[in-house]
Chain A
């Protein structure tokens, strides 16, 4: 057994213990309550038209969201991978911030912008004079917009990172041979980019397919995805069999899709060697390049930065104009309340969980991606799809699985803080795999073989050859693992834990009580989350970026 396979074992063990086992336990518990299969308990799934409608809506909104995101983010990925411009790192960090924003906060900033009394409606009414606000603060359009808002940076980073790793000499060679820029793009760049685009599209699709908070708040009451219905069935109606059946349906569909993608993607991969010595990005010199940069930045400002700015504004504006009262309130100590969340503690806790998640997810993701990259054939496609499954799994089902499965020593982890990091890592690690795998696959195997022949140990081959080549991909994976955890994404909200004040917890607490100070402090806390995340992402990018500097 090679070291590579040996390293894959912990990944399998982790998934079996914290994913497969709890999930099977809750499905068996829900669907076979008396120990045998009783088809009547989920008969409604097939007799009522409600569920077919749900599945249809869930699917097409996810497809549409994915297509829209790709459409707007790919040009951005080009600009960000190709050109060097002012404060590029800051822009990139800023664009990733939506990923950590709790849905209620994103919804609040969206409705502040698009709502009935928001600036856009006021402007439109002043210019065109309709009697009622022309834009609705919720509905299908806002839902799609929010999905683009959340996923834009995913495509930008994943595809952009891969793009800038393409050897510019290939393009230059084609140009020398007389190919037009358009020909170069269609015949050379696009085929080479395909693995990264497919990986990004798959992530976005799964993300939108299992969308919960965004649909619940911004879609409005007329819209529901399978995930929303699973939550409703399990919690509000206490119909665990139906929740489990819907959860299985969601898993099956996503699994088939991921397997298909893995099958189609396998073997279409072109291995080619690039050294990181030549980064693709150049300063913009032509007016067209400058215009492209300006257009991209203008677009992301309207789509992503404006809602964030609205949030910052709300944290600083009271009835009587500018105020710091909300920030003062945050730092005032909260009296004697046992569960008051001090901003410092909240940031420290969030950071602890996020760093823990990043480390665990990157280690697991790296081991898994290396294994996948080394194996070929149908087995690889199965594993590939299987590893992605946690991302497509209903958070409610998994959370409940923990309760009934991990209830005996030595594994009574039901209410330990480690569970939070584990739950976050389960969601984050498929992201990491998707980020690293395309980069790993394009390293020609001859490279490692040559080094081994010359006497390098497998560890040395990894550290000296592979690692520098996939450094950028690991960074992108780490950034998303970090962001997923900072935003308390999905699963963690259904995990029982000792009261731990994280930033999203604090925001929810403030927003669950009426009163101006509560709202203001929620906005102030969100702004702290935003600024802090932005700062960490910048530092992370610097730290990882300088690691490769010496190799130039």
Chain B
């Protein structure tokens, strides 16, 4: 092919992905979220037909990146609704003053422990608990009792068995650091981490690397204890190649042995269609979507009326008493805690 014919052909191909489908009637609602967001198609289609509107989803990287972008956009918002602020970023989001209050009628039945913003600018949608996961087969084969509590992993019996994520670069890593702060207090958490360091803990920079790079149950790694979610064992059953009766991994929760990440939704200031945005928030909080969430994002619904799917009921645990750290404290001390952690564990 001569260059004169080659480039026009390429140009035609280039324009293909930009051809948009025929515009639908009615208004368009833009929903901004992070890369992990997912939902069932039929639910969105139902919302669209009920409200004679089109829902458009935009994605902006991980949860932290998406929030910073929403804040930077300021009074020229990128979307009408934002989903995916978690409680470690809650204070930052509220301080930036980018959300409109909306006291959804559905909220009344939600547990107060999840309703962290009293002015209802950010409404809880789901939650998930970050905790230790263990490889059951590994401990069975070695004849060692797996750790039953967070505090156990500094014991000599578990030397060289744990991999955690770096809280400075990973969101479950930060959540786990917060669990230890909630559990051992601001004065005690560093000595726990120093003990963990002496016990030859491995630090990965992200969840993917820890789980799929080091964890014995999911990789060729040599660490049978990993920081993951309390719902992870259920996901390993759901995504097994052959049907399993027992999860290959188990969550270690215990008393204040986990940290609860709560995800919120909010209406962005500057939206041109506040009513439609409110309707979408209600849609996200109502039972059909709440029952859809667990198998899409592997978190628990915030709405108590939503029932859990079978695989979650059987293989996931909801810790009764997660460790607690207030969002304001997180925003205020984040840098200081991270630096102290880095000094104690990495330097």
Do A and B pair up? The answer is yes
A506 to chain B, nearest CB (A): 11
Residues of A with C-beta under 8 A to B56? 498
Residues of A with C-beta under 8 A to B62? 235
- B38, B64, B220 interface centre (most CB from chain A within 10 Å): B220
Residue of B nearest to A511 (CB): B208
The answer to whether A234 and B68 have CB atoms under 8 Å apart is yes
The answer to whether A514 and B40 have CB atoms under 8 Å apart is no
Residues of A with C-beta under 8 A to B239? 513-518
- B35, B228, B240 interface centre (most CB from chain A within 10 Å): B35
Q: Which of B78, B235, B335 contacts A403 (CB 8 A)?
A: B78
**B92 in contact (CB, < 8 A):** yes
Residues of B with C-beta under 8 A to A520? 241
Residue of B nearest to A359 (CB): B10
Bound-state Cα–Cα, A358 to B9, Å? 13
Q: Which of A415, A494, A515 contacts B61 (CB 8 A)?
A: A494
Bound-state Cα–Cα, A237 to B236, Å? 33
Residues of A with C-beta under 8 A to B205? 216-217, 220-221
Within residues 94 to 128 of chain A, which ones have a CB less than 8 A from any CB in chain B? 104, 107-108, 111-112, 115-118
Q: Which of B11, B14, B35, B204 contacts A509 (CB 8 A)?
A: B35
The answer to whether A104 and B2 have CB atoms under 8 Å apart is no
Bound-state Cα–Cα, A133 to B222, Å? 10
**B189 in contact (CB, < 8 A):** no
Q: Which of A176-184, A203-211, A335-343 contacts B (4 or more CB under 8 A)?
A: A335-343
The answer to whether A216 and B169 have CB atoms under 8 Å apart is yes
Residues of B with C-beta under 8 A to A108? 212-213
Residues of B with C-beta under 8 A to A133? 222
Residues of B with C-beta under 8 A to A499? 57-59
A514-B232 contact in complex given A112-B220, A400-B69, C-beta closer than 8 Å: yes
Q: Which of A117, A232, A349 contacts B168 (CB 8 A)?
A: A232
A212 to chain B, nearest CB (A): 11
The answer to whether A115 and B240 have CB atoms under 8 Å apart is no
Q: Which of B35, B36, B73, B236 contacts A516 (CB 8 A)?
A: B236
Q: Per DSSP, are chain A's interface residues mostly helix, strand or loop, or mixed? A: helix
Bound-state Cα–Cα, A161 to B232, Å? 50
Bound-state Cα–Cα, A511 to B235, Å? 12
The answer to whether A512 and B208 have CB atoms under 8 Å apart is yes
Q: Which of A151-159, A318-326, A430-438 contacts B (4 or more CB under 8 A)?
A: A318-326
B170 to chain A, nearest CB (A): 9
Interface string of A411-450 (1 = CB under 8 A from B): 0001101100100000000000000000000000000000
Interface string of B161-204 (1 = CB under 8 A from A): 00000101100001000000000000000000000000000011
The answer to whether A352 and B298 have CB atoms under 8 Å apart is no
Bound-state Cα–Cα, A418 to B59, Å? 15
Within residues 252 to 278 of chain B, which ones have a CB less than 8 A from any CB in chain A? none
Residues of B with C-beta under 8 A to A232? 168-169
Q: Which of B39, B58, B74, B229 contacts A498 (CB 8 A)?
A: B58
The answer to whether A104 and B209 have CB atoms under 8 Å apart is yes
The answer to whether A336 and B10 have CB atoms under 8 Å apart is no
A497 to chain B, nearest CB (A): 6
Bound-state Cα–Cα, A421 to B11, Å? 13
A106 to chain B, nearest CB (A): 12
Q: Which of A237, A348, A497, A508 contacts B335 (CB 8 A)?
A: A237
- B232, B236, B237 interface centre (most CB from chain A within 10 Å): B236
The answer to whether B17 and A338 have CB atoms under 8 Å apart is no
A408-B76 contact in complex given A351-B13, A513-B235, C-beta closer than 8 Å: yes
Q: Which of B64, B211, B338 contacts A235 (CB 8 A)?
A: B64
Residue of B nearest to A217 (CB): B209
Within residues 300 to 321 of chain A, which ones have a CB less than 8 A from any CB in chain B? 318-319
The answer to whether B68 and A400 have CB atoms under 8 Å apart is yes
The answer to whether A547 and B11 have CB atoms under 8 Å apart is no
Bound-state Cα–Cα, A236 to B175, Å? 13
**B42 in contact (CB, < 8 A):** yes
Residue of B nearest to A223 (CB): B205
Contact size class for B?
A: 35 or more
Residue of A nearest to B89 (CB): A238
Residues of A with C-beta under 8 A to B72? 29, 400, 403-404
Bound-state Cα–Cα, A217 to B18, Å? 34
Within residues 230 to 271 of chain A, which ones have a CB less than 8 A from any CB in chain B? 232, 234-239
The answer to whether A514 and B68 have CB atoms under 8 Å apart is no
Within residues 43 to 85 of chain B, which ones have a CB less than 8 A from any CB in chain A? 44, 56-62, 64-65, 68-69, 72-74, 76, 78
Within residues 342 to 385 of chain A, which ones have a CB less than 8 A from any CB in chain B? 348-349, 351-353, 355-356, 358-359
Bound-state Cα–Cα, A513 to B222, Å? 20
A424 to chain B, nearest CB (A): 12
Bound-state Cα–Cα, A237 to B74, Å? 19
Residues of B with C-beta under 8 A to A508? 35
**B219 in contact (CB, < 8 A):** yes
Residue of B nearest to A415 (CB): B58
The answer to whether A547 and B6 have CB atoms under 8 Å apart is yes
Q: Which of A104, A496, A514 contacts B69 (CB 8 A)?
A: A496
**B37 in contact (CB, < 8 A):** yes
The answer to whether B166 and A221 have CB atoms under 8 Å apart is yes
B243 to chain A, nearest CB (A): 12
Bound-state Cα–Cα, A404 to B41, Å? 32
The answer to whether A236 and B57 have CB atoms under 8 Å apart is no
The answer to whether A547 and B38 have CB atoms under 8 Å apart is no
A411 to chain B, nearest CB (A): 12
**B32 in contact (CB, < 8 A):** yes
The answer to whether B58 and A497 have CB atoms under 8 Å apart is yes
**B144 in contact (CB, < 8 A):** no
Bound-state Cα–Cα, A192 to B16, Å? 43
Bound-state Cα–Cα, A403 to B174, Å? 27
Residue of B nearest to A215 (CB): B205
A517 to chain B, nearest CB (A): 4
Residue of B nearest to A468 (CB): B3
The answer to whether B241 and A337 have CB atoms under 8 Å apart is no
Residues of A with C-beta under 8 A to B298? 513-514
**B206 in contact (CB, < 8 A):** yes
**A332 in contact (CB, < 8 A):** no
The answer to whether A235 and B65 have CB atoms under 8 Å apart is yes
The answer to whether B68 and A220 have CB atoms under 8 Å apart is no
B292 to chain A, nearest CB (A): 9
The answer to whether A547 and B3 have CB atoms under 8 Å apart is yes
**B332 in contact (CB, < 8 A):** no
Residues of B with C-beta under 8 A to A221? 166, 168-169, 203-205, 346
Residues of B with C-beta under 8 A to A107? 209, 213
The answer to whether B241 and A359 have CB atoms under 8 Å apart is no
Q: Which of A235, A348, A515 contacts B240 (CB 8 A)?
A: A515
B242 to chain A, nearest CB (A): 8
B33 to chain A, nearest CB (A): 9
Within residues 1 to 29 of chain B, which ones have a CB less than 8 A from any CB in chain A? 1-3, 6-7, 10-11, 13-18
- A112, A338, A500 interface centre (most CB from chain B within 10 Å): A338
14 further interface pairs, Cβ-Cβ under 8 Å (given A234-B68, A353-B17): A115-B220, A137-B213, A216-B169, A236-B169, A236-B334, A325-B241, A338-B38, A358-B10, A403-B78, A514-B228, A514-B249, A515-B240, A517-B241, A544-B6
Interface residues of B (CB under 8 A from A): 1-3, 6-7, 10-11, 13-18, 30, 32, 35-42, 44, 56-62, 64-65, 68-69, 72-74, 76, 78, 92, 166, 168-169, 174, 203-209, 211-214, 218-222, 228-229, 232, 235-241, 249, 296, 298, 334-335, 338, 346
A sample of 5 cross-chain residue pairs with beta-carbon separation below 8 angstroms, ordered by A number, consists of: A137-B214, A396-B65, A399-B69, A403-B78, A415-B78
Q: Which 6 A-B pairs have the closest CB atoms?
A: A515-B239, A117-B220, A352-B17, A356-B14, A116-B222, A235-B64
Interface residues of A (CB under 8 A from B): 29, 104, 107-108, 111-112, 115-118, 133, 137, 216-217, 220-222, 228, 232, 234-239, 318-319, 323, 325, 336-339, 348-349, 351-353, 355-356, 358-359, 396, 399-400, 403-404, 407-408, 414-415, 417-418, 421, 467, 493-494, 496-500, 505, 508-509, 511-520, 543-544, 546-547
